[in-house]
Amino acid sequence: MLPIVFEWHWDVGHFVFMGLFYLALGIIGGGLALAFKATMQDLCSGKDPHEHGHH
Partner 1 sequence: MDDSKFWPQGVTRCKPGAFIAWMVVCLGLLGWAGLSAFLCIFKGLNQTNMNDYFAFGVWIVVDLAIIALGAGAFFTGFMTYVLRRDELKNIINAAVIIGFICYSGAILMLGIDIGQPARGWFGFWHANVHSMLTEVMFCITTYLIVLIVEFIPLILENRQINKVPDLAFFAHHLHRIMIVFAATGTFLSFFHQGSLGGMFGVLYARPFAYRAGIVIWPWTFFLFILSAIASGPSFTTLIVMLTEKVSGRKLTTHKVKMLMGKISAYLLSFYLVLKIADTLYWANVTLPKMGVTFGDLYAGGPYGTYLVWLELGLFGVVPALLLLQRRVRESYGLMALAMVLNCCGAVMNRFVFTIQPLAIPVLPFEKFVGYLPSWQEWGISAGVIAYGLIVFSLAYRYLPVFPQEVELNKG
- Give the binding site for partner 1 (CB under 8 A): 1, 5, 7, 13-14, 16-18, 21, 24-25, 27-28, 31-32, 34-36, 38-39, 42-43, 47, 49-50, 52, 54-55
CB of 44 to partner 1, least distance (A): 11
DSSP E strands, the chain: none
Q: Is 46 left (phi over 0), alpha (psi -120 to 50) or beta?
A: left
Least distance in angstroms from the C-beta of 39 to partner 1: 4
**Cβ 9 vs Cβ 3: under 8 Å:** no
